[in-house]
Amino acid sequence: MININEVLETNKMVEEETLDVRTITMGINLLDCADSDLARCCDKIRRKISEKAQCLVQTGDDISHEIGIPIVNKRVSITPISLVGGACCRSTADYVQIARTLDDVAKQVNVNFMGGYSAIVSKGMSASDELLIRSIPEAMASTERLCSSVNVGSTKTGINMDAVRLMGEIIRQSAEATKEQGSRGCAKLVVLCNAPDDNPFMAGAFHGVSETDAVINVGVSGPGVVHHVLRGIRGASFEVLCETIKRTAFKITRVGQYVAQEASRRLGVPFGIIDLSLAPTPAIGDSVADILREIGLEHPGAPGTTAALALLNDQVKKGGVMASSYVGGLSGAFIPVSEDQGMIDAVEAGALSIEKLEAMTCVCSVGLDMIAIPGDTPASTISGIIADEAAIGMVNQKTTAVRVIPVIGHGVGETVQFGGLLGYAPIMPVNRFGCEAFVNRGGRIPAPIHSFKN
């Protein structure tokens, strides 16, 4: 039988160490909403999402109250819209209409974000894909809760450099379109390589075509809990360090696994995966950077950071895999700058640069995430940053992403506020040397040799 110390340990994790389940994300297939008439397509989308997700928020809140552990976000991911809107969208304005419909439904079912205003163009762009991509700046500016992602490469296909070049321009246009709000449109837009079909985390969540009609995916978190246990073993060897992280990750993930199974049972929707991620928030004590400091770095960015992050990421996976029957999504440590107070401090102290963050993305789950850059950064430079990240993902057979925010009208040393979960960020310097001739070559980078495994 459960003993009092175990109960107190769990409750302390929640009350003092910010343990929570970060998100329950319901994936919904919208392929059957495609129609040659735009109004009918929007109508079908509205009906399907509101029918499937109407009880999602209430169910999440009920489970949270019954187990005494917060479930912070309830979200919806949908089939990439370029696949749904292809039959009825003839202009970017048509796509924006779908975007507004999605934003309205998100508000109606009360989820705080909806992901899937997306296109998968890792090898080539269809006319529909390109139209959707070109509509992103206006779609992000005219919606509040909708997130957009574009997958520009994969280990199997190589990197679509035409899409990479286009996304540099689209990010700049999104920044311009929302310049009054700190270029916030870019905070809801991510460019991916090897995007997973079942990611529950925003902004890159979408419901892939390999998925069933509706599915429940859960993202767990708990950097505060890991940080706290590591405080108790200062100076211990790597063996003890790794073992401690692993045991903690196991416990955190078990919470997620239980929540996922309960949500799946109550909603009558199959359970998909648990995403084992250490996802920070701007709240004090909920920081991946604090863990890195506790491991022994003065600030994230110091020599040793990549190794520390690599071991952290690996132990989280090892502990988590044991705790869940299905693991998927991104699964690893997130290192967004604006959403982690410790990362912001590291940037302000001059310890952390974009180049070091790029190195860190080689060994953790995502990529250059929530990084504010100067508003005058050229589109070709942004494309260059995307190409570098995509290359890391392609060669290492992992997911990588770029979510940078060129803050229009502002430069290095200034700070930009995104509000709420998105936090705030100091604007970081970008290498000023050009890569225009490289980006403008056109075509695609072939798949790497080790992708030929047949």
Partner 1 sequence: MEKIIITVVGKDTTGIIARVCTYLAEQSVNILDISQTIVQGYFNMMMIADIARAPKSFMQMATELETVGQGMGVQVKCQREEIFEKMHRI
Nearer to partner 1, 10 or 415 (CB): 10
Q: How many helices (H) and strands (E) does the chain have?
A: 15, 14
> Mask of contacts with partner 1, 315-354, x by CB under 8 A?
-------x--------------------------------
CB of 261 to partner 1, least distance (A): 9
Residues between 159 and 218 that touch partner 1 (CB under 8 A): none
Collect contacts of 302-306 with beta carbons under 8 A, ≥24 apart: 302/351, 305/356, 305/359, 305/360, 306/359, 306/360, 306/362, 306/363
Residue number, 46 or 254, with CB nearest to partner 1: 254
3-state secondary structure of 412: coil
Provide the minimum distance between the beta carbon of 321 and partner 1 in the complex, in angstroms, as a whole number.
13
58 near partner 1, rule: CB under 8 A: no
CA distance 157 to 422: 32
For 255, the token pair is 């919470």
Asked if 16 touches partner 1 (CB under 8 A), the answer is: no
A 10 A CB-CB count for 68 gives 11
**C-alpha span between 117 and 77 (Å, rounded):** 9
For residues 416 and 410, the answer to whether their CB atoms sit within 8 Å is: yes
DSSP 59-72: HHHHHHHHHT--EE
Q: Are 384 and 438 in contact (CB under 8 A)?
A: yes
Token pair 């997306």 in the structure block, residue: 118
Q: Report d(CA 57, CA 396) in Å as an integer.
A: 37
Given 165, 184, 207, 251, the residue binding partner 1 (CB under 8 A): 251
Written as one string, the DSSP assignment of 10-74 is HHHHHHHS---EEEEEEEE--GGG--SSHHHHHHHHHHHHHHHHTTHHHHHHHHHHHHT--EEEE
Please report whether residue 52 would count as binding partner 1 according to CB under 8 A.
no
What is the x/- site pattern for partner 1, positions 419-448, by CB under 8 A? ------------------------------
The owner of tokens 């799946």 is 264
134 touching partner 1, by CB under 8 A: no
Beta carbon nearer to partner 1, 207 or 246? 246
Q: Does 69 bind partner 1 (CB under 8 A)?
A: yes
- Which span (62-70, 151-159, 225-233, 442-450) binds partner 1, by CB under 8 A? 62-70
Q: For residue 133, give every residue at least 6 positions away whose Cβ sits within 8 Å of its Cβ, in sequence order, or none.
A: 82, 119, 121, 125, 150, 163, 166, 167, 170
Which residue's CB is nearer to partner 1, number 244 or number 338? 244
Measured from the CB of residue 259, what is the shortest distance to partner 1 in angstroms? 9
Closer to partner 1 by Cβ: residue 226 or 371:
226
Among 32, 40, 68, 446, binds partner 1 (CB under 8 A): 68
Residue 3 interacts with partner 1 (CB under 8 A): yes or no: yes
Position 313 contacts partner 1 (CB under 8 A): no
Query: Which window, 25-33, 172-180, 250-258, 370-378, contacts partner 1 (CB under 8 A)?
Result: 250-258
Q: Pick one of 107, 123, 254, 266: the residue that binds partner 1 (CB under 8 A).
A: 254
In angstroms, what is the minimal distance from the CB of 21 to partner 1?
11
Q: Return the range that interacts with partner 1 (CB under 8 A); candidates 63-71, 190-198, 346-354, 418-426.
A: 63-71
If DSSP codes are grouped into helix, strand and coil, which group holds residue 254? helix
Q: What is the contact surface with partner 1 in residues (CB under 8 A)?
A: 1-11, 62, 65-69, 251, 254-255, 257-258, 322
